[in-house]
Amino acid sequence: MFCPSCQAEYREGFTECSDCGVALVWNLEQKPREEIVAGLMPVVETSSSAELGEIVDRLEKAGVPYVIEAGTALALLGGREEDVPHPWQARLSVATELSERAERIVQQARRSHRPFESPMS
Ligand SMILES: [Zn+2]
């Protein structure tokens, strides 16, 4: 996540720049593709297919429509070509007006998802 004003980089989970108070964006450069999909808000990026599955399951139960982009060259979509080849990752987006609701669902899914939990522990 980046601040479009001062260009500071933030970890995932932050939504606004603490210095400028403006909403963070996924990529500093606005690519034509992002204009084409105006109205779609990315709400999560993950490299865990299990986590993605948990999130999708919850979004479907909540009736929130979504779009997933996934692969090992996802970075190319943001113009970060120097990053490829890249580990598998996925980005899930929802309609902008549903993004706050979707983000709450994502947080709930992440809290419940414990990939390293052993049934014997
Ligand atoms: Zn800033």
Q: Give the tens place of pLDDT for each residue, 91-115.
A: 999 988 898 899 999 988 888 766 5
Q: Give the tens place of pLDDT for each residue, 35-49.
A: 346 788 888 888 888
What is residue 89's three-state secondary structure?
strand
Q: How far is the CA of 20 from the centre of ligand 1 (A)?
A: 4
What domains can you pick out in the chain, each with its CATH number?
1-31 (no CATH), 40-112 (3.30.70)
Q: Calculate the CA dihedral of residues 95, 96, 98, 99 and round it to 10 degrees.
A: 110
pTM here? Answer: 0.60
Residue appearing with tokens 């970890």: 11
Q: How far is the CA of 45 from the centre of ligand 1 (A)?
A: 21
Q: How far is the CA of 14 from the centre of ligand 1 (A)?
A: 12
Q: How far is the CA of 64 from the centre of ligand 1 (A)?
A: 31
Residue 118, pLDDT > 70, answer no
Q: How far is the CA of 25 from the centre of ligand 1 (A)?
A: 11
Residue length of the chain? 121
Q: How far is the CA of 78 from the centre of ligand 1 (A)?
A: 20
Q: Please, are residues 47 and 94 in contact by the beta-carbon 8 Å criterion?
A: no
